[in-house]
Amino acid sequence: MLADDLRGMFYIALKDLRAYYFKPPNISWGMLFPFAFVLAFAIRNPGDLQGLVPGLLALTILFGTSSMEAIVIVFERRIGSLERLLLAPIRLPALLMGKLLGGMAFGLTVTLVVLAIALAVFGVGDVNWPLLVLTLLLSAAAFSAMGAFVSVAVKEVFEAQTLANFIRFPMILLGGVFIPVASLPLGLRIVARLLPLTYAVEALRAALTGGTLLGATLDLVVLTLFSAVVFALATRMLAHHF
Amino acid sequence: MCFEGNFICLNLEMGENTAIHVSQLTKVYPTGPGRPPLRAVDGISFDVRHGEVFGFLGPNGAGKTTTIRMLTGLVRPTAGSARVLGFDLATDVTRIKKRVGVVPEASNLYDELSAFDNLVFAMQLYGVPRTQRAARAGELLARFRLADRRDTLFAKLSRGMKRALTIAAALVHRPPLIFLDEPTTGLDVMSARNLREMIADLRREGATIFLTTHYLEEAERLCDRIAIIVKGHIVALDTVDGLKTSVQGQTVVEVTLSGGEGSVETVRFDGDDVATTVQAALAQATADGRRVLAVNTLRPTLEDVFVQLTGLSAEVMLAEKGGKGSSWLVGQGAEPKEQANAGR
């Protein structure tokens, strides 16, 4: 049964990547949108461009993983093809994990392209590679789970887009991408601490500036817990639909 | 017992001849505050034998699709139990899923994948060995007359081709039990005929088929036994001949009449016995000033059975699915049922 689940996860992810993710508009959206955000901020506040790289990477993962992930499940539910997966001999968590892996793989791919450009421009410097890889993986898992949760929580594709943006945009503003969390008023600091993007940005900043794995432990734990809880909620909600 | 190929084996703890055993299966859906819950399926019990085509006939909302969804693990029954291919639905649903093929009412493969890739993806999900996938996909495409559409995206196929490919996708793992939910709904005449031939072929090869349909002729032609379900209850279950025998008290007389200007018209009458019904028919023809060209007494059809048991006409049922009406309507007593061939 475990073998069936693992095989199902792998092929569902592969199918989603082929059918939905690796399409030109999706790739350009995944990379251009974060660049546009950062460029707008940099033009308004020229200065520490290198300091914006962790935020740029975090935004890329956020949009790369969650944009399509938030749509895929509700889309397949609407057209009935999700039933094909539910009829297959795999368990529901494995089905959802396959969906998550598709989002993660795409998000990580576009993020690696952006990372390569950033490193080419600013130099490798003090990068802590193990921490960077771990942070990218956990961030992708967290945001992909968030996208899946959005997708199973709604009935229509446009609702998924609306809900995803409702969650993502406050995160962009408060998650430390452009404005350091420490400089926010106390109330907003508390809100920022509830957002997974805050921890992703912090861990990425640590990874790119020679921080240690130990120093980023809290960030990594929070991202892991967030992924697990949101994944469990999404699985439960999907089961409730059938 | 193993089916063709070598990776599907059955659990034969239950009767050797029973593919599906259903006992008091019930599905209740909540309908909102202050409203009574909907009993979509209400304590149905039946057995499906290995190798037969079992028809599940009923109007919209009767509980046909809900029954299939329960038996294939898509929805959890509220009460009752079922064993499918020897496996308990409550505890072994993954094993059941591995051994059944399901063709849902909608052709729901992936628009973005080609015909070939859709079949390969289905095989990947069902664990068909990698070395067999390409050959099996080619074999199914040929069988369903889609070989020349191998690389065509599913979105670009005609409705009949989509239906055929959806059926093919349900067969990739050579399941010994196949659920077909309204397989020919919405198809043109030729596509529907082709699909019926394919279903008959599957049966000849030994597969057990659980078929829901709105089309009475289709059920009559394909099914060994038929269950008629109305409002969540099975109201009859028998062979086609057995069902017809159950309404043999009814007489149907078909009278061919000359109409005006050389036209010919066939009118059906039903009644309690032949003599009375023929007399009533002749009296009506005389009253209308028309000449009787022929009189035939007819055996009850499956449609007669259906109408008597459900109170619904075949046309009403077909209209629910947007299909064309049957050739005649049914009235009560010695009433004309339908006028066919008028003005010919």
Closest Cβ opposite residue B74 in set A7, A19, A242: A242
CA–CA separation, B332 and B271 (whole Å):
8
* B-chain residue closest to A91, CA distance: B94
Question: Positive or negative CA dihedral for A228, A234, A237, A239?
Answer: negative
Q: How far is CA B28 from CA B57, B82, B169, in A?
A: 20, 16, 31
The answer on B150 and B53 residing in a single domain is yes
Q: Could you tell me if residue B58 is inside a domain? A: yes
Count helices and strands in chain B by DSSP H and E runs = 11, 14
pLDDT tens per residue, range B60-94: 888 999 999 999 999 999 999 999 999 999 999 99
Confirm if B46 and B234 have CB atoms less than 8 A apart: yes
pLDDT tens per residue, range B242-272: 888 777 666 778 888 887 677 788 887 777 7
Contacts A12 to B, Cβ<8 Å:
125
What is the per-residue pLDDT for B287? 83
pLDDT tens per residue, range B220-249: 889 999 999 988 999 999 998 888 877 766
Q: Could you tell me if residue B4 is inside a domain? A: no
The answer on B274 and B234 residing in a single domain is no
DSSP B149: G
Which of A155, A160, A194, A154 shows the shortest CA–CA distance to A174?
A194
Is pLDDT above 70 for B20?
yes
Confirm if B29 and B187 have CB atoms less than 8 A apart: no
Alpha-carbon gap: A196 to the closest alpha carbon of chain B (Å): 33
Contact A18 B113 (CB under 8 A): yes
The answer on B64 and B129 residing in a single domain is yes
Contacts A92 to B, Cβ<8 Å:
none
CA–CA separation, B253 and B247 (whole Å):
15
The answer on B255 and B240 residing in a single domain is no
Question: Block means of pLDDT (10 residues each) for chain A, length 242 residues?
Answer: 92 94 78 76 71 88 88 89 93 95 94 88 83 96 95 89 89 87 90 94 92 88 97 93 74
**Which residue of B78, B95, B121 is the best one to mutate when testing the A interface, meaning the one whose CB has the most A CBs within 10 A?**
B121
Share of chain A above pLDDT 70, in %: 98
Beta carbons within 8 Å of A119's beta carbon, 6+ residues apart: A127
Which of A16, A4, A60 shows the shortest CA–CA distance to A35?
A60
**Which residue of A78, A84, A240 is the best one to mutate when testing the B interface, meaning the one whose CB has the most B CBs within 10 A?**
A84
Angle between helices A24-44 and A92-122 (to 10 degrees): 50
What is the per-residue pLDDT for B313? 65
Domain with B312, as residue range(s), is 251-340
Closest Cβ opposite residue A81 in set B72, B74, B109: B109
Contact B127 A7 (CB under 8 A): yes
pLDDT tens per residue, range B114-148: 999 999 999 999 999 999 999 999 999 998 889 99
Is pLDDT above 80 for B273?
no
What is the per-residue pLDDT for B321? 54
The answer on B295 and B220 residing in a single domain is no
Alpha-carbon gap: A237 to the closest alpha carbon of chain B (Å): 14
Using an 8 Å CB-CB cutoff, list residues of chain A that contact chain B: 1, 3-4, 7-8, 11-12, 15, 18-20, 79-81, 83-91, 242
Q: What is the ipTM of this complex?
A: 0.88
B209 - beta bridge partners?
Answer: B53, B178
DSSP B211: E
What is the per-residue pLDDT for B213? 86
The answer on B308 and B204 residing in a single domain is no
Alpha-carbon gap: B94 to the closest alpha carbon of chain A (Å): 5
Is pLDDT above 60 for B1?
no
The answer on B172 and B51 residing in a single domain is yes
Of the candidate ranges A165-174, B161-170, B204-213, B293-302, the one whose mean pLDDT is the lowest:
B293-302
The answer on B128 and B239 residing in a single domain is yes
CA–CA separation, A14 and B329 (whole Å):
53
* Per-residue tokens: A186: 């106390």
Of the candidate ranges A164-168, B2-6, B66-70, B185-189, the one whose mean pLDDT is the lowest:
B2-6
Contacts B109 to A, Cβ<8 Å:
81, 84
Closest Cβ opposite residue A81 in set B72, B95, B110: B110
The answer on B325 and B195 residing in a single domain is no
3-state secondary structure of B163: helix
